[in-house]
A and B are shown apart, each in its own frame.
Chain A
């Protein structure tokens, strides 16, 4: 059998890898990919707590499904913003998109 700790350590590692991607990548699309990895780590945590805690109630899975919906919304709007910025500024490097900075 698989103890709960394996899932928790795995999702902590996945979250940290995603966090590194968000902080270190220059490309805005790669930053969004890092966010996806972090959301997946959160979902692993939610589902494993549901399975190891109280599988009779569906709350953990419902929470994970709502995270799915929020992730889909986030990536749709994020990629639309990246494409729109690329059309006007011809760049997707996050450091160069600084027109709101003064």
Chain B
């Protein structure tokens, strides 16, 4: 193994520990505003994983859209709703043991299923020769007629409709 591969593995372990540890804190911490902040750490760990997977555009989108927009939206929602039940009472419902069992069973089942698949330990496919700029390839794929222009446009219409719907639902009529 070369030094670069060892560094990649160390980076993977650090970011995986960051992602999973802060994800546990998101579901376990009592204060909701701290859960939102741990969610930001977890999303950042996922961005590092995208960087390890050579998906450079998704790294930027993860930081800008998830951390910059969605996590901030969560913090706003927590601050707008939390006035009179701040950290009062249990944060988990009565059947949380059952929920933990379902989570563990899902993890065991998924791990068992993918480990019985033949491509489980596959190595990364080589980046095809002649690839200069994968971001440019992605942009071309998103807007060229014979590839993904229709799903792209449908997603943008969905986003527009959802944002108009969100304004309508949250609008204060008084």
Contacts and interface: CB of A to CB of B under 8 A. Distances in A.
Nearest to A90: B84
B81 A86 contact: yes
Contacts of B52: 2
B14 to A, nearest CB: 12
A61 B57 contact: yes
A73 B162 contact: yes
- Chain B interface residue count: which class? 35 or more
A80 B111 CA distance: 36
Interface in A78-102: 79-84, 86-87, 90-93, 95
Interface residues of A, number: 75
Interface of A: 1-10, 12-21, 23-27, 29-30, 32-34, 36-37, 40, 43-44, 47-48, 50-59, 61-62, 64-66, 68-77, 79-84, 86-87, 90-93, 95
Given A55-B134, A82-B81, 9 more contacts: A2-B52, A5-B114, A16-B106, A23-B103, A24-B99, A37-B26, A40-B66, A61-B55, A69-B155
28 contacts: A1-B1, A3-B120, A3-B121, A3-B122, A5-B115, A10-B19, A10-B20, A14-B19, A18-B27, A19-B99, A20-B100, A20-B103, A24-B96, A24-B100, A27-B32, A30-B26, A32-B74, A33-B36, A36-B70, A37-B27, A47-B50, A48-B53, A51-B54, A51-B124, A56-B128, A80-B166, A83-B81, A91-B85
